[in-house]
Amino acid sequence: EAQVTQNPRYLITVTGKKLTVTCSQNMNHEYMSWYRQDPGLGLRQIYYSMNVEVTDKGDVPEGYKVSRKEKRNFPLILESPSPNQTSLYFCASSLGYDRDLSYSGTSIGEQYFGPGTRLTVT
Amino acid sequence: EDKVVQSPLSLVVHEGDTVTLNCSYEVTNFRSLLWYKQEKKAPTFLFMLTSSGIEKKSGRLSSILDKKELFSILNITATQTGDSAVYLCAVETNRDDKIIFGKGTRLHILP
């Protein structure tokens, strides 16, 4: 079954204790992304990756790190979590597109989302 | 600054009504506009729009894009209680491959 998986699904932790949220997809997608969702603020992109070893900052990258060593995995790392990082986190993946062929009709926007990770930092 | 604005923020209608959800955007290097549906879990993809005036349709849902006026609408006809959800609009940019979401429209369908 084509899917994006995230672990853990729920996490309560304390300020300053490093944590990693894993994300994995089995669709051979090029593009992967992390979002946080907060009431009244909607979905905001934290980091994204167009391919292996290529990562870029989204709109709210402060306090987060990512890596893309393999195509299927895109972990989100909080080196020193703070209470303002309490949120619902989603990982997503999509086919991506071929820059050399200009816009080929595929899109990074047709994303498949993971089930979400609810993080509470006390 | 790139932004996506959805309206209304929330909407309550009766089953069988038709609803129109709005999405306007201001982004540099627009590539596509996206609609997602989010029930009590992760968003699921509905439509991608790249060209003005071409309607995308899936069952009772349809959407259209106006690139001159920088907006899109999502129509749902003959609404059902299962249509209750948050509908998210997003824009994909060419310049830096970001995806920018609006805050969503929360739709509640009364039986």
Q: What percent of chain B has pLDDT over 90?
A: 82
Q: Tell me if B90 and A114 make a contact (CB, 8 A cut-off).
A: no
Question: Which of B4, B46, B99 should be substituted to probe chain A, the one whose Cβ sees the most A Cβ atoms within 10 Å?
Answer: B99
- pLDDT at A99 exceeding the cut of 70: no
Of the two residues A53 and A117, the one the predictor is more confident about is A117
Tokens standing for A39?
């009431």
Among the listed ranges A10-14, B30-34, B103-107, which one has the minimum average pLDDT value?
A: B30-34
Residue A72 vs residues A23, A50, A98, A104, B90: alpha-carbon distances, Å: 8, 12, 18, 23, 24
A54: left (phi over 0), alpha (psi -120 to 50) or beta: beta
Interface of A with B (CB under 8 A): 31, 33, 35, 40-45, 48, 50, 56, 58-59, 90, 103, 107-116
pLDDT at A36 over 80: yes
Residue A100's pLDDT is 47
Amino acid at A46: I
Contact assignment for B98 to A45 by CB distance below 8 Å: yes
Query: Which residue from B48, B98, B103 is facing A110, i.e. has the nearest CB?
Result: B48
User: Which residues on chain A are in Cβ contact (under 8 Å) with B100?
Assistant: 45, 59
Section A79-93 average pLDDT? 97
Q: Which residue has the higher pLDDT, A107 or B54?
A: B54
Q: Determine whether the interchain pair B31/A107 forms a contact, defined as Cβ–Cβ distance below 8 Å.
A: yes
**A109 and B98 in contact by Cβ < 8 A?**
no
pLDDT in tens, B29-77: 898 999 999 998 899 999 999 888 889 999 999 999 999 999 999 999 9
E strand spans, chain B: 3-7, 10-14, 19-26, 30-38, 44-49, 56-58, 61-66, 71-76, 85-93, 99-101, 105-110
pLDDT exceeds 80 at position A97: no
Least confident of A8-12, A15-19, A30-34, A106-110: A106-110
| Residue A114 reports pLDDT greater than 60 | yes
Q: Percent of chain A at pLDDT above 70?
A: 92
Question: Which of B86, B97, B103, B105 to mutate to probe the A interface, most A CBs <10 Å?
Answer: B97
Residue A105: pLDDT band with limits 50, 70, 90: low
Name the pLDDT band for A15 (thresholds 50, 70, 90).
Answer: very high
pLDDT of A101 higher than 50:
no
Chain A residue numbers with beta carbons less than 8 Å from the beta carbon of B102 are 42
Distance from CA of B21 to the nearest CA of A (A): 16
